[in-house]
Amino acid sequence: MSNPESKIGPERLGVRPAQGYAGDVTPEQAAAWVAQGEAVMVDVRSDAEREWVGYVPGAVGVAWKQWPGMALNPNFDAGIQAAVPDGQKVVLLCRSGVRSIAAARRATELGLAAYNILEGFEGDNDEEGHRGRKGGWRLRGLPWKQN
């Protein structure tokens, strides 16, 4: 059965302006850029999140903050610089699109063309406080796997 939220219309494509980084993009726009070889996806969630919740095949894992304690990853700068070839955009994914904003700002400071992926991997909390039902990479029917 098709997910109505996975339909890609013109309103789901393009770049939205942002402060301190190149812009915000929908999951669909990020997926299109990655598929066309225009961008590298960096998943800034913790290793534990990618392992237990799911991951995007082909995305490079470079945690912004690391579990336990959610301390800033001292290896973030080196990791993201190694992941993104010169001249390519980087699209940053986290759980809900919040940590990826901070990571996009830092990547921009490092000289990268960095974009935040709106809604993140799991989307926002619904009325019951659950993720995965209100936006996000998974809900939109984009490629992902779970261990």
The domains found in the chain, sorted by start residue, are 20-147 (3.40.250.10)
pTM of the model: 0.88
135 vs 26: which has the higher pLDDT: 26
Q: Which is more confidently placed, 133 or 9?
A: 133
- 43 band by pLDDT with thresholds 50, 70 and 90: very high
pLDDT tens-place string over residues 72-100: 999 999 999 999 999 999 999 999 888 99
Is the confidence at residue 130, as pLDDT, over 70?
Answer: yes
List the end-to-end C-alpha distance of the chain, in Å, as a whole number.
Answer: 23
Among 39, 46, 57, residue whose Cα is nearest residue 138 = 57
Please report the pLDDT score of residue 7 as a whole number. 52
Residue 35 three-state SS: helix
